[in-house]
Amino acid sequence: MSVALREGVSEEVRATADRMAVFLSRFIRDGELVFHGVASPLPMAAIVMARNTHAPNLTYLNIPGGVDPKPPYLPGSTVARQLMEGALSYFTLTEIFDLSARGKLDLAFLGGAQIDARGDMNLSFIGDPAAPKVRLPGGAGSAHILPTAGRTVLWRTAHDARSFPERCDFVTASGNVEAVVTPLCIFEKADGRLRVNSIHQGVTPDALRAATGFDLGDLEHTPATPEPTPAERTALEAADPEGIRLREFV
């Protein structure tokens, strides 16, 4: 499966997946309680990788409920039983919501089908919510986690004007968004609005503007996102040798 997956994607997609996983991992601080939810291969790879690099004392929480599991390999579903193997304790999703509600979840990674200029996200409806053009899967825990977790980092594997509009068709969740990682850039949220923090290597400001549905302001002095270091690449490859992170791109 994984060999087929690797063969099926271009070098460019592969580079994007690696970058995004590495960039997500950089937001993890050592010692933090870190959570990802359903449909989250990139954060899963990022967390496992961070534990083997700069954040050996993070505590890894997930939906199956394994606290600090040592998965034998990364599963294609991020709700699979491998995320309980080698765990020290079980801590259900219900407990994770409570933990976040009482202000003790440090960092959560959440995805969005749309992420808007305010850093709000939509996983519910495209079009009119009363008669949606697209019924999206739903926001899972995001409406709860975004406002209650200490910090959240969003990501989306597609960066285009529909995915990054001025305003979401429906705000599934809004809250303590620190940053958004995309294939083109890293946004940070400041004063209630997303600003480009850094642009990935090889991406021009104009290309970024064209791919974004909201105004990005002045990008002249925006730095380039530092490329994954050799050490980061090695750690990512060790964390996810089968390339499960590529699943987000096929």
Give me the residues that bind another protein (CB under 8 A), please.
1, 33, 38-39, 41, 59, 63-67, 75-81, 84, 86-95, 97-103, 120, 123-124, 129, 131-148, 170-175, 247-248
Distance from C-alpha of 211 to C-alpha of 206, rounded to nearest angstrom: 9
For another protein, the closer CB: 202 or 241: 241
CB of 227 to another protein, least distance (A): 25
Please provide the distance, in angstroms rounded to a whole number, between the alpha carbons at the two ends of the chain. 13
CB of residue 235 vs another protein: minimum separation in angstroms?
Answer: 22
User: How many Cβ atoms sit within 10 Å of the Cβ of residue 97?
Assistant: 16
Name the residue nearer to another protein (CB basis): 93 or 236.
93
Shortest Å, Cβ 223 to another protein: 30
- For residue 63, the minimal CB distance to another protein (Å) is 6
For another protein, which is the closer residue by CB, 126 or 219? 126
Closest CA to 87 of 105, 55, 62, 54: 62
Residue 75 vs 183, nearer CB to another protein: 75
Q: How far apart are CA 101 and CA 238, in angstroms?
A: 34
Among residues 145, 135, 157, the alpha carbon closest in space to that of 15 is found at: 157
Integer angstrom CA distances of residue 184 from 8, 12, 40, 156, 207: 22, 12, 19, 10, 9
- By C-beta, is 13 or 67 nearer to another protein? 67
CB of 89 to another protein, least distance (A): 3
Rounded to an integer, what distance in angstroms lies between the CA atom of residue 58 and that of residue 46?
12
Answer positive or negative: Cα dihedral of 232, 107, 146, 215: negative
Tell the smallest beta-carbon distance from residue 15 to another protein (Å). 18
Between 67 and 219, name the residue whose CB sits nearer to another protein.
67
